[in-house]
C-alpha cells in the first residue's frame, strides 16, 4: 500500500507526492493543528510535549495522522510495511504510539536532520495501535522530507529504528525493506540495469516506476507545472480498483493522493472517489498558539457538482469540544486495546483450546 515520491529540485521548489492505498475508505479529512497543543506519547505517558509548529494533516477516521506538513515545510508520510517488528519496548524506553508517531515529528522538527538526530539519540520505540479496519495491529514505516530536499525513511524490523537518510532517497513504497528496494531498483533500465520498466501493482514495481519518472522530469516553469508533473508521477504509481487477487483478500487500491510544495507551503488533496482537487495555502491559515483546531470536511463536502474545489484554505471549521473529546477518547481506546493484545491473544487461544477439546 502507498507510494511516496520527492522531487527535490523542481526549479527551486521541493515537491512531494503520495498515494494512500487501502482496501477500504478511511474517511479522510484534513485538520489544521495550531502551535501550542499539549500531547502525550499514547504509550507509557513519560514523553510529553507542546507543539512547536502548526501543521495540516490528513487523517484516517479523524483519529490518526497518516500524512501531513508543518509550517516549516517539514512533512511526513505513514506507509505500510509488513516486515515491521517493533519489539517489546522496555518500561522506561522513550515510546510513541503509532497514533501520534507522525504527529510528534510534525510538532517538533523543522528539518529531516533534526528528526534523524533525535530518532537515533532517543532510540524511540513504537507502540502499536489497534486497527479498527480489521487488522489486529498496523505495521508501518515513516518517510520524512523537508524544504531543503532532504529525505529519510525510518523502519523497525528488529525492535530498533533503522534510519535511511539521504537526499537521494526520493521514493518509498512498501515491501521489501528499504535496503532491498534500493538493490532491486538498480536492475531497471534507466536506473542502472537492463530490465524493462515494470508495470504491475507490486510495491517493488511501483518503486521502480516512481524512481524512473521523477529522475526524468524536465524543469517546470511554474508551481502549477511542478505540482501537475508530480500528480502525473504519483498517478502512474497508483493502484486501480479491482477484485481481490489470489492470496490477497485485502488488495489495496489508491483511495486518495496528495501533492505538497514544501518550499511554497501548499498542500493539495485529490480523492479517487470524491472528485475535485482542493488545496491549502499555509500563508492563508493561522497556526498561532491559542487558535482553534479546525477540520476541512472532505468526506461530506467533496462532490462533483456544488462541492469543494480549488483553494479551500478558508473552508476549515470548528468541530466543537464534544467532538474533540470523542475523538480523543477513540484514540485512547485504540491504544488501550493494542496494549492488551497479548492478553486478548491468550484468551483467544484458551477459547480455541476449549472448543477443540469439546469436539
Report which DSSP code applies to 307: S
| Structure-block grid coordinates of residue 147 | 524544504
Residues 6+ positions from 39 with CB-CB distance below 8 Å: 48, 49, 50, 51, 100, 103, 104, 107
Distance CA 80, CA 78 (A): 7
Measured at the alpha carbon of residue 169, what is the angle toward residues 267 and 9, in degrees to the nearest 5? 55
Catalytic sites, residue numbers: 2
Radius of gyration of the chain (CA): 20
Q: C-alpha cell of 31?
A: 485538520
What whole-number distance in Å separates Cα of residue 134 and Cα of residue 324? 24
- Residue 40 CB neighbours (<10 A): 15
Distance set, CA 303 to CA 78, 223, 273, 307 (Å): 26, 25, 9, 4
Q: Which residue has the cell 491549502?
A: 280
DSSP letter for 188, please. Answer: B
List, in order, residues 6 or more apart from 53 with CB less than 8 Å away.
35, 70, 71, 72, 74, 106, 107, 108, 109, 110, 287
d(CA 54, CA 286): 9
Q: How far is CA 36 from CA 5, 19, 291, 324, in A?
A: 30, 30, 9, 16
Amino acid at each position: 500500500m502507498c507510494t511516496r515520491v520527492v522531487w527535490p529540485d523542481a526549479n527551486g521548489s521541493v515537491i512531494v507526492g503520495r498515494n494512500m492505498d487501502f482496501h477500504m475508505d478511511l474517511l479522510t479529512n484534513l485538520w489544521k493543528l495550531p502551535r501550542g497543543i499539549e500531547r502525550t506519547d499514547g504509550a507509557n505517558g513519560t514523553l510529553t510535549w507542546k507543539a512547536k509548529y502548526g501543521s495540516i494533516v490528513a487523517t484516517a477516521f479523524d483519529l490518526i495522522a497518516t500524512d501531513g506538513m508543518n509550517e516549516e515545510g517539514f512533512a511526513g508520510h505513514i506507509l505500510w510495511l509488513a516486515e515491521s517488528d517493533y519489539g517489546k519496548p522496555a518500561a522506561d524506553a522513550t515510546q510513541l504510539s503509532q497514533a501520534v508517531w507522525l504527529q510528534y515529528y510534525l510538532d517538533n522538527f523543522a528539518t529531516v536532520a533534526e528528526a534523524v538526530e533525535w530518532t537515533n539519540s532517543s532510540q524511540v520505540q513504537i507502540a502499536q495501535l489497534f486497527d479498527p479496519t480489521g487488522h489486529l495491529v498496523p505495521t508501518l514505516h515513516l518517510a520524512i522530507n523537508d524544504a531543503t530536499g532532504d529525505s529519510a525513511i525510518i523502519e523497525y524490523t528488529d525492535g530498533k529504528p533503522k534510519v535511511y537518510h539521504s537526499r537521494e532517497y526520493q521514493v518509498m513504497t512498501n515491501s521489501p525493506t528499504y535496503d532491498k528496494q534500493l538493490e532491486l531498483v538498480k536492475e531497471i533500465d534507466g536506473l542502472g540495469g537492463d530490465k524493462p520498466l515494470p508495470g504491475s501493482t507490486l510495491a517493488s514495481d511501483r518503486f521502480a516506476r516512481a524512481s524512473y519518472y521523477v529522475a526524468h522530469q524536465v524543469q517546470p516553469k511554474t508551481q502549477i507545472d511542478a505540482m501537475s508533473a508530480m500528480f502525473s508521477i504519483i498517478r502512474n504509481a497508483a493502484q486501480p480498483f479491482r477484485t481481490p487477487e489470489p492470496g490477497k483478500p485485502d488488495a489495496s487500491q489508491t483511495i486518495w493522493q496528495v501533492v505538497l510544495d514544501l518550499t511554497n507551503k501548499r498542500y493539495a488533496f485529490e480523492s479517487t472517489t470524491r472528485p475535485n482537487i482542493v488545496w491549502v495555502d499555509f500563508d492563508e491559515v493561522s497556526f498561532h498558539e491559542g487558535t482553534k483546531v479546525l477540520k476541512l470536511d472532505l468526506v461530506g463536502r467533496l462532490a462533483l457538482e456544488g462541492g469543494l474545489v480549488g483553494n479551500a484554505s478558508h473552508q476549515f471549521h470548528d468541530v466543537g469540544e464534544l467532538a474533540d473529546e470523542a475523538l480523543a477518547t477513540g484514540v485512547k481506546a485504540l491504544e488501550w486495546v493494542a496494549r492488551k493484545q497479548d492478553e486478548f491473544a491468550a484468551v483467544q487461544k484458551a477459547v480455541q483450546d476449549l472448543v477443540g477439546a469439546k469436539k
